């Protein structure tokens, strides 16, 4: 059991500082770009050198660290880290034909740069790790934290995830056919009937421990699966729900018609009280988008109202106490996360 003591999220919506999810921030040119704050907690000289992923990751972590001091360790998930710096360095290699290059982009480009930068600023010499398992990078960070909290229940861990859209990884994913060709608004994402989705990005951070005191929610279970068999996913999901009865399901449906099969079984039975919401029209699709869903679940478990745009079917049963998230990345990597009131 992982108890959540604090959380923070930089996303394409108004999720940082004064949260307002009713006022939907629109998609621009197939991208949901993060609303970056002014990063008051980061010294300007350091901020200037940071790539976007590092900036968002550190920026989301700073308020938690300001309140918590020095946690026992830093456990992050990111699929691509500082992709923009990575390709900037790559472009230098090609353009200058392997000539004299500046190392700044290279150092910022490594996927462990976010956790490293947080460790450096926090003077944190404890456990420091970056999980990079694509669509399950955040889930692996959670699993790692579960194991740490089982060994040292009273220690506090900074756990989270970050991924950015740079023009470069946008190009790679677009060439792969993962984004919509037509222009789609946030509201129409789920009704398009076409392949592809909207690009997204963000950072979500959590302070976690094995101790219930002062926690506002808990993460009960995380399960991950590698398969493209929708039937197998449905079978495992049903078993997950039996073990973790839930009154709200958060679905990772991203409007890609090819992936509908993995969510088709979620259509709720009218006789049971479970509600169903979707979130990718808020944050877009990115490998660690389930960290946004986890932040959203925390927000809902704290009694905040669920915006109407999230409901797939009319709400029957607000006042949720147990929430399960189902997500998949490109139909290959699947995850279930259950959270509930402490």
Partner 1 sequence: MSRILVTGIGLVSAIGNNAAENRKSLAEGHCGISQLEGFPSRFAGIMPFGEIKIRNQQLIEKFGQHQAGVTRPCLLALMAMEEAIADASVTNAELSDFSTALINATTVGGMCLTDELFHDANAADEGSPYLSSYDCADTAIFLQKHYRIGGIINSINTACSSSANSIAFGAALIKSGRAKRVIAGGVDCLAKFTINGFNSLHILSNELCRPFDISRKGLNLGEAAAYLVLEPEEELRGKKYYAELTGYANSNDAYHPSSLSDNGVGPYKSMMDALEKAELLPAQIDYINAHGTGTENNDAVESIAMQRVFGTVPAFSSTKANTGHTLGAAGSLEAAYCILNLSNQELYPALQFETAIPETGYIPNLKFKPAEIKHVMSNSFGFGGNCTSLIFSLT
Q: Which residues of the shown chain bind partner 1 in the complex (CB under 8 A)? A: 74, 79-81, 86-87, 89-94, 97-103, 106-113, 115-117, 119-120, 122-134, 136-137, 140, 143-144, 146-147, 150, 167-169, 171-173, 175-176, 224, 226, 330, 332-333
Q: Which is nearer to partner 1, 107 or 266 (CB)?
A: 107
**Considering the complex, what minimum distance in angstroms separates the CB of residue 209 from partner 1?**
17
Give me the DSSP letters along 97-124: TT-S--SHHHHHHSTTHHHHHHHHHTT-
In sequence order, the 6+-apart residues with CB closer than 8 A to the CB of 79 are 111, 132, 133, 134, 135, 137, 163, 286, 287, 288
In sequence order, the 6+-apart residues with CB closer than 8 A to the CB of 255 are 180, 184, 189, 190, 191, 192, 196, 197, 198, 280, 281
CA-to-CA distance for 81 and 115, rounded, in angstroms?
10
Q: Which is nearer to partner 1, 25 or 124 (CB)?
A: 124
**Considering the complex, what minimum distance in angstroms separates the CB of residue 226 from partner 1?**
5
Give the residue carrying structure tokens 């909207």: 198
Q: Taking a C-beta distance cutoff of 8 angstroms, is the pair 306, 296 a contact?
A: no
In terms of residues, how long is the chain? 342
**Considering the complex, what minimum distance in angstroms separates the CB of residue 79 from partner 1?**
6
**Considering the complex, what minimum distance in angstroms separates the CB of residue 111 from partner 1?**
5
**Considering the complex, what minimum distance in angstroms separates the CB of residue 286 from partner 1?**
12
Q: Which is nearer to partner 1, 247 or 285 (CB)?
A: 285
Q: Which is nearer to partner 1, 25 or 71 (CB)?
A: 71
Q: Which is nearer to partner 1, 44 or 314 (CB)?
A: 44
Q: What stretch of H or E contains 76?
A: strand 73-77
**Considering the complex, what minimum distance in angstroms separates the CB of residue 213 from partner 1?**
23
Q: Which is nearer to partner 1, 128 or 328 (CB)?
A: 128
Q: Taking a C-beta distance cutoff of 8 angstroms, is the pair 168, 191 a contact?
A: no
**Considering the complex, what minimum distance in angstroms separates the CB of residue 241 from partner 1?**
18
What would you report as the CA-atom Rg of the chain, rounded to the nearest whole angstrom?
19
Q: Which is nearer to partner 1, 115 or 248 (CB)?
A: 115
Task: Choose among 280, 299, 277: nearest CA to 288.
Answer: 280
């Amino acid at each position: 059991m992982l108890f959540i003591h604090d959380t923070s999220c930089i996303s394409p919506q108004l999720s940082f500082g004064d949260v307002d999810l009713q006022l939907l921030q629109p998609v621009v040119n197939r991208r949901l770009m993060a609303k970056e704050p002014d990063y008051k907690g980061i010294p300007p000289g350091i901020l200037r050198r940071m790539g976007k992923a590092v900036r968002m990751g550190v920026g989301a972590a700073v308020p938690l660290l300001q309140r918590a001091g020095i946690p026992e360790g830093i456990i992050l998930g990111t699929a691509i880290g500082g992709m923009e710096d990575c390709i900037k360095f790559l472009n230098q290699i090609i353009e200058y034909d392997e000539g004299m290059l500046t190392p700044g982009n290279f150092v910022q480009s490594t996927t462990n740069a976010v956790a490293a930068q947080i460790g450096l600023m926090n003077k944190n010499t404890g456990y420091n790790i970056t999980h990079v398992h694509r669509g399950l990078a955040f889930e692996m960070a959670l699993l790692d934290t579960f194991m740490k909290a089982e060994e040292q229940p009273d220690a506090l861990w900074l756990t989270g995830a970050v991924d950015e859209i740079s023009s470069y990884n946008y190009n790679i994913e677009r060439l792969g056919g993962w984004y919509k060709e037509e222009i789609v608004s946030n509201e129409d994402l789920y009704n398009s009937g076409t392949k592809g989705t909207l690009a997204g990005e963000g950072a979500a951070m959590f302070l976690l421990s094995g101790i219930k005191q002062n926690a506002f929610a808990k993460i009960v279970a995380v399960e991950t699966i590698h398969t493209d068999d929708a039937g197998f996913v449905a079978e495992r999901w049903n078993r997950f729900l039996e073990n973790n009865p839930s009154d709200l399901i958060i679905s990772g449906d991203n409007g890609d018609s090819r992936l509908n099969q993995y969510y088709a079984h979620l259509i709720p039975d009218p006789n049971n009280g479970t509600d169903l919401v979707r979130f990718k029209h808020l944050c877009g699709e990115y490998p660690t988008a389930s960290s946004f869903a986890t932040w959203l679940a925390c927000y809902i478990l704290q009694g905040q109202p669920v915006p109407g745009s999230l409901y797939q079917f009319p709400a029957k049963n607000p006042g949720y106490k147990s929430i399960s998230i189902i997500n998949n990345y490109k139909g290959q990597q699947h995850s279930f996360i259950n959270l509930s009131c402490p």
